[in-house]
């Protein structure tokens, strides 16, 4: 549908034309039948008129016909015809237009008029009537000497030209009336549709005036019909989302510039110091610092690229069953120095042999970021708890740590890129992208990352999304282990805490200061 106006007008006009055409056809049929009935009635009246022209006495039957009174039975141009016979078929009288040839009567005459259509003797289409009548004038009128009234067969035929002309006039009037009404309805429909679409034009003008750098809080378009009110409400919601996305993009761009400006300034400073120094050890320390700063910058760019890929939906994930306990133990072992340094009580409440169904790489990345944050931001001497909840065939991995500096209003901001709520989260060595990456990764892999704050305790939960749980519960669902065994295992995903090359080329764990944060 290219145009609502064209769509509505076309259907209104065509619908009206169809209805008017149907009505005109019905009227035409009714009027035509009425005209034919009147035409036949006229022929029947003529038969009775002819019966009144006969006079009967005891020995004689006379016919007082005058060509001057009925000239149509004697003219050459479009004449009429009649013939009169006795009921037994004996000829009595006929019009001069017959030229002595009797009319062909294919029906049996009765005292009721019988009508039919057939060609006239001159070839024109005509209408015929035949009827038996008694002579009206019988003399003497009373007394024993009054003879029995003779029974006559009267046949009259006329051309259909008057009837055809009347039918053509009725048809022309029906067509003209339909066309005039259709045009009137089309005009009124056009005005009505134009008036009905005026709010849409008004809305279009308002939308055209919107600028990307000045998005309105709501569209001001005046009073609108219910149908467009829904469109405006949806558009308002879309504008709010776009405005929020643009603000988030501007904030992210500014944060990226800020995050890169600091290490770049540090690189310039270290490089200048190295250039001015003649001490070999000082130059080596400068190069080591340059390497570390450059690697932090590369780490930041890598995480941003990973977020971009996740938002673009180009990554593919394959869920399968795997041992969660081994994954948690490995991660906690790597974080043990931090826990000891900060006197943290770390509780691993995941039973041996506990398995879950998910993409193991995704769980490893998300789990690593959650545990890293719990170790980094939990107060000194606090507790970090890791446990697995299983219920109704599903699972939920929970990481808890004390977070006295956080408020409920901070929960939605925790997964925003570069957000830092307090001084602990403003360390330049932390990018503020860890939870943002974790949530994006979890959502793309069919998982949900939930953040709750209760009595100063931050609880992060990872579990299958509602869509994934419903799909898994469907009859005939594919066994994830079988699917995983057939899936390609060639893809490589970055580790959550990351690995970087050491001087001898072997990978080694990232130091705590370099985590995504």
For 115, other C-beta atoms within 10 Å of its C-beta total 17
302 and 245, same structural domain? yes
Q: At what angle do helices 360-377 and 434-444 cross, to 10 degrees?
A: 150
Last residue of a domain, one of 251, 283, 314: 314
Last residue of a domain, one of 132, 167, 202: 167
Residue 320 belongs to a domain: yes
CATH of the domain at 500: 3.30.565.10
Report the distance separating Cα 66 and Cα 69, nearest Å: 5
370 and 290, same structural domain? no
> Is residue 181 exposed (0-12), middle (13-18) or buried (19+ Cβ within 10 Å)?
middle
pTM of the model: 0.48
If phi > 0 it is left, if psi is from -120 to 50 it is alpha, else beta; for residue 84 that is beta
Residue 499 belongs to a domain: yes
| pLDDT higher than threshold 70 for residue 395 | yes
243 and 94, same structural domain? no
CATH of the domain at 123: 3.30.450
* Between residues 471 and 382, the one the model is more confident about: 382
Q: Tens digits of per-residue pLDDT, 183-219?
A: 998 899 888 888 888 888 888 888 888 887 777 777 8
Average the pLDDT over 338-352 and give the result: 90
Percentage of residues of the chain with pLDDT beyond 70: 84
363 and 472, same structural domain? yes
351 and 370, same structural domain? yes
| pLDDT higher than threshold 50 for residue 465 | yes
| pLDDT higher than threshold 60 for residue 254 | yes
Q: CA nearest 113: which of 31, 35, 51, 29?
A: 51
Structure tokens at 179: 């066309």
Give pLDDT, residue 231.
Answer: 84
For 439, other C-beta atoms within 10 Å of its C-beta total 22
Are 193 and 9 spatial neighbours (Cβ–Cβ below 8 Å)? yes
325 and 305, same structural domain? no
Task: Give buried/exposed letters for 454-488 (b at 16+ CB in 10 A, else e).
Answer: eeebbebbbbbeeebeeebeeeeeeebeeebeeee
Whether the bond into 140 is cis, omega within 30 of 0: yes
Structure tokens at 23: 């009505």
Structure tokens at 34: 């009425």
Report the distance separating Cα 454 and Cα 7, nearest Å: 58
300 and 445, same structural domain? no
419 and 292, same structural domain? no
Alpha carbon 491 to its chain centroid, in Å, reads 38
Query: pLDDT tier at 159 (50, 70, 90 boundaries)?
Result: very high
425 and 277, same structural domain? no
CATH of the domain at 259: 1.10.287.130
Q: Which of 60-69, 244-253, 303-312, 463-472 has the highest mean pLDDT?
A: 60-69
Q: Look at residue 420 and give its three-state secondary structure.
A: coil
Query: pLDDT tier at 255 (50, 70, 90 boundaries)?
Result: low
In the predicted model, what is the mean pLDDT of the chain?
81
Average the pLDDT over 303-332 and give the result: 79
Residue 505 belongs to a domain: yes
227 and 333, same structural domain? no
278 and 352, same structural domain? no
Give pLDDT, residue 312.
Answer: 66
* Between residues 238 and 482, the one the model is more confident about: 238
Q: Tens digits of per-residue pLDDT, 470-515?
A: 666 555 554 444 444 444 343 444 444 343 333 333 333 333 333 4
DSSP for 244-279 reads HHHHHHHHHHHHHHHHHHHHHHHHHHHHHHHHH---
Q: CA nearest 31: which of 147, 133, 174, 134?
A: 174
Residue 26 belongs to a domain: yes
Domain ranges, residue 274: 212-314
Q: Mean pLDDT lowest for which of 68-77, 110-119, 198-207, 312-321? A: 312-321
145 and 49, same structural domain? yes
Residue 193 belongs to a domain: no
Query: 401: which residues sit within 8 A by CB, 6+ positions away?
Result: 373, 374, 375, 377, 378, 382, 383, 384, 385, 457, 458
Q: What's the domain count of the chain?
A: 3
Residue 194 belongs to a domain: no
Residue 251 belongs to a domain: yes
Average the pLDDT over 343-362 and give the result: 90
Q: Tens digits of per-residue pLDDT, 3-43?
A: 787 888 888 888 988 998 999 999 999 999 999 999 999 99
Residue 120 belongs to a domain: yes
């Amino acid at each position: 549908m290219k145009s609502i106006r064209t769509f509505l007008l076309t259907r209104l006009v065509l619908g009206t034309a169809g209805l008017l055409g149907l009505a005109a056809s019905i009227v035409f049929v009714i009027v035509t039948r009425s005209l034919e009935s009147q035409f036949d009635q006229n022929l029947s009246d003529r038969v009775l008129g002819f019966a009144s022209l006969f006079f009967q006495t005891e020995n004689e039957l006379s016919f007082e016909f005058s060509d001057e009174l009925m000239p149509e039975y004697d003219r050459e141009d479009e004449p009429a015809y009649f013939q009169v016979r006795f009921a037994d078929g004996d000829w009595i009288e006929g019009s001069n237009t017959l030229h002595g040839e009797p009319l062909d009567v294919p029906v049996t005459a009765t005292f009721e008029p019988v009508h039919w259509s057939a060609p006239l003797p001159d070839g024109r289409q005509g209408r015929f009537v035949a009827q038996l009548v008694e002579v009206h004038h019988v003399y003497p009128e009373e007394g024993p000497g009054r003879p029995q009234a003779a029974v006559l067969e009267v046949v009259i035929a006329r051309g259909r030209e008057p009837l055809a002309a009347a039918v053509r006039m009725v048809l022309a009037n029906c067509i003209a009336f339909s066309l005039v009404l259709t045009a009137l309805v089309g005009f009124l429909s056009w005005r009505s549709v134009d008036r009905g679409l005026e709010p849409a034009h008004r809305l279009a003008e308002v939308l055209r005036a919107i600028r990307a750098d000045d998005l309105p809080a709501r569209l001001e378009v005046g009073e609108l019909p219910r149908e467009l009110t829904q469109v405006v409400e949806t558009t308002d919601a879309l504008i709010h989302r776009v405005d929020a996305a643009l603000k988030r993009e501007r904030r992210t761009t500014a944060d990226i510039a800020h995050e890169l400006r600091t290490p770049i300034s540090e690189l310039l400073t270290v490089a200048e110091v190295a250039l001015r120094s003649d001490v070999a050890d000082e130059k080596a320390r400068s190069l080591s610092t340059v390497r570390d700063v450059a690697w932090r910058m590369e780490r930041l760019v890598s995480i941003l690229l990973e977020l971009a890929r996740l938002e673009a939906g180009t990554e593919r994930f394959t869920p399968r069953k795997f041992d969660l306990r081994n994954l948690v133990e490995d991660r906690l072992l790597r974080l043990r120095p931090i826990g000891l340094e900060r006197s943290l009580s770390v509780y691993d409440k995941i039973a041996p042999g506990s398995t879950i169904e998910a993409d193991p790489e995704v769980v490893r990345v998300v789990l690593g970021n959650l545990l890293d944050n719990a170790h980094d931001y939990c107060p000194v001497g606090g507790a970090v708890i890791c446990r697995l909840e299983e219920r109704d065939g599903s699972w939920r991995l929970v990481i808890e740590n004390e977070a006295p500096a956080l408020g409920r209003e901070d929960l939605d901001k925790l997964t925003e890129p570069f957000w830092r709520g307090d001084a602990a989260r403003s360390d330049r060595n932390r990018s503020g992208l860890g939870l943002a990456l974790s949530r994006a990764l979890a959502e793309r892999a069919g998982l949900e990352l939930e953040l709750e704050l209760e009595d100063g305790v931050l609880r992060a939960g990872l579990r299958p999304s509602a869509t994934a749980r419903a799909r898994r519960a469907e009859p005939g669902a594919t066994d994830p282990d079988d699917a995983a065994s057939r899936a390609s295992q060639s893809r490589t995903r970055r580790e959550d805490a990351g690995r970087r090359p050491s001087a001898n080329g072997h990978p080694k764990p990232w130091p705590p200061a370099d985590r995504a944060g």
